[in-house]
Amino acid sequence: MRPLRRALILDCDGYETPLFSVDGRHLAVRGNAYDNSVEVFEFPSLRRVLTTTLGDPSPGYPYPQEWRDQMQAWSRHNIAFGARPGVLWIATPTGVLVEVDLEIRQAVEHDVLTGSRLSALAATATGELLVAGSEGDLVLLSVLSGSTRNCTANRDTSTTAAAAFLETTAEVPDDGDDLETHLVLTDGTRTWEADDLATTTEASSTDPTWLQLQAAINAAQVRCE
């Protein structure tokens, strides 16, 4: 097995394992080391369709203790895709389960364990939601078809999405020891070829952190030559 040239690049580090929706049309990433962020990307396009921070965004170092406590109240394993495509579920510290419809950009709150922090969330193979509470509760939830728009998951859709992604990229060659020189990177909004990143020397404060660092390193190398 070899890496593929087309790759998704995230802003920093500390992310959890990505989750695919049951139909393969969405990819969710929970992280990172500095914020309780949630990002969702379409697949196979890798276009970013949702980015949000759970709780207050990072105030920067040194971190106030109140913010630390709030950040740690959120579980790092609190997102899941159920049986219905296009819907992401988020468990909260207040016992509320949030249903996010990615198609129409709406969220609905469901009281699950009032007064108990939701410490974990997962989906079963058949699409039910399994919720753990901080008081030792374990709840299995079946989503009612009338609660929101109901769609039937089609496994063929995920196979088609994977095939479409493979058609847009290629394997890194056998002699591709320097992986970064072969990758075509996207953050869900823009795309960078390897040559672009090797020569860019300017970045704004609104650009991703990794891009600001790359530009600063390139600029420093130019000054030294």
State pLDDT tens for residues 40-84: 999 999 999 999 999 998 898 899 999 999 999 999 999 999 888
SS3 track for 76-135 = CCCEEECCCCCEEEEECCCCEEEEEECCCCEEEEEECCCCCCEEEEEECCCCCEEEEECC
Q: Which residues contact 159 (CB under 8 A, 6 or more apart)?
A: 24
pLDDT tier for residue 207 given thresholds of 50, 70 and 90 = confident
Q: Are 128 and 142 in contact (CB under 8 A)?
A: yes
Over the stretch 117-127, which tens digit does the pLDDT of each residue have?
A: 999 999 998 88
Residue type, 50: L
Backbone angles phi, psi at 41, to 5 degrees: -125, 145
CA distance 194 to 162: 24
* Matching CATH number, 14-160, of 2.130.10.10, 3.30.70.520, 3.40.50.2000, 3.40.50.150: 2.130.10.10
CA distance 124 to 107: 22
What are the structural domain ranges in the chain? 14-160, 170-224
CA distance 187 to 118: 30
Select the more confidently predicted residue: 190 or 178.
190
Residue type, 14: G
Averaged over 159-186, what is the pLDDT? 89
What's the whole-model pTM score? 0.88
